[in-house]
Amino acid sequence: MSTLVGKKAPQFSANAVVNGGEVVNNFSLEQYEGNYVLFFFYPKDFTFVCPTELHAFQSKLNEFESRGCKVVACSTDTEESHWGWLQMEKADGGIKGITYPIVADTSKTISMNYGVLCGDYDYNEDGEVVATGPMIAYRGLFLMDKEGVVRHQIVNDFPLGRNVDEAIRMLDALTHFEENGEVCPANWVKGGEAMAESHEGVAAYLSQN
């Protein structure tokens, strides 16, 4: 997998479920031009770690939106599967109450273009096309700036759930840099001390911390 950091995010057009139950065609991230976008992949609907992540992002959705950031999820399931899972109560393992868009990457091309698809297509000895893996997405997360350039990405294996507060911290770091021209050192949090991007700035910061 090659990094997308510093590159324009791959564009796509696909079906998605928005507002907890409305199926829309030709959904794309281009509609969010001028906003930050947090685009994350999860492996499968009706699973175990995945609903904890989707609900965790929903619980902090206001924090993303207050920072001008749109949250969008994606998996290789169909829009019908997404819709069905959205009707299931949280207590039963469902994701009812999720309002941000969930993209249906049924062609698996979105996951492939973002470098998070687990598996590939190959030919067996009989010349038949076979899949070399489960053909579902790893837990990829991509933060895009207002111009659609990827500024941060992480990819977790299936068993490892992500930290939503860390995603917010990275968004805060990006906005701080853009607004102030200061870089953000290790463990920086919003309101903390940043530093000038120079040898003098590093020396001054390290001398005080």
At residue 89, does pLDDT exceed 90? yes
Interatomic CA distance for residues 108 and 56, integer angstroms: 25
Query: How confident is the model at residue 158, as a pLDDT?
Result: 97
Mean pLDDT of 136-145: 98
Interatomic CA distance for residues 146 and 36, integer angstroms: 5
Contacts of 90 (CB under 8 A, 6+ apart): 51, 55, 96, 97
Q: Which two tokens stand for residue 5?
A: 């950091």
Active site annotation includes 118: no
Mean pLDDT of the chain: 94
- For 24-76, what is each residue's pLDDT tens digit? 999 999 999 999 999 999 999 999 999 999 999 999 999 999 999 999 999 99
Run of H or E residues at 167: helix 164-180
Q: Give the class (CATH, top level) of 14-160.
A: alpha beta
Query: How confident is the model at residue 201, as a pLDDT?
Result: 62
Interatomic CA distance for residues 14 and 111, integer angstroms: 12
Catalytic residue among 50, 69, 74, 184: 50
At residue 143, does pLDDT exceed 80? yes
User: Cβ of 26: how many Cβ atoms within 10 Å?
Assistant: 10
Query: How confident is the model at residue 199, as a pLDDT?
Result: 63
At residue 202, does pLDDT exceed 70? no
The pLDDT-based confidence of 103 (bands split at 50, 70, 90) is very high
What share of the chain in percent tops pLDDT 70? 95
Integer CA distances (angstroms), 91 to 60, 82, 97, 99, in order: 19, 17, 12, 17
Run of H or E residues at 204: helix 199-208
CB 158 within 8 A of CB 43: yes
Query: How confident is the model at residue 207, as a pLDDT?
Result: 72
Beta bridge partners of 149: 8
The pLDDT-based confidence of 200 (bands split at 50, 70, 90) is low
Q: Which two tokens stand for residue 100?
A: 């941000």
DSSP state of 28: -
Residue extents of the structural domains in the chain: 14-160, 163-209
The pLDDT-based confidence of 205 (bands split at 50, 70, 90) is low
At residue 184, does pLDDT exceed 60? yes
How much is the pTM? 0.94
Query: How confident is the model at residue 197, as a pLDDT?
Result: 79
Query: How confident is the model at residue 2, as a pLDDT?
Result: 78
Interatomic CA distance for residues 16 and 10, integer angstroms: 17
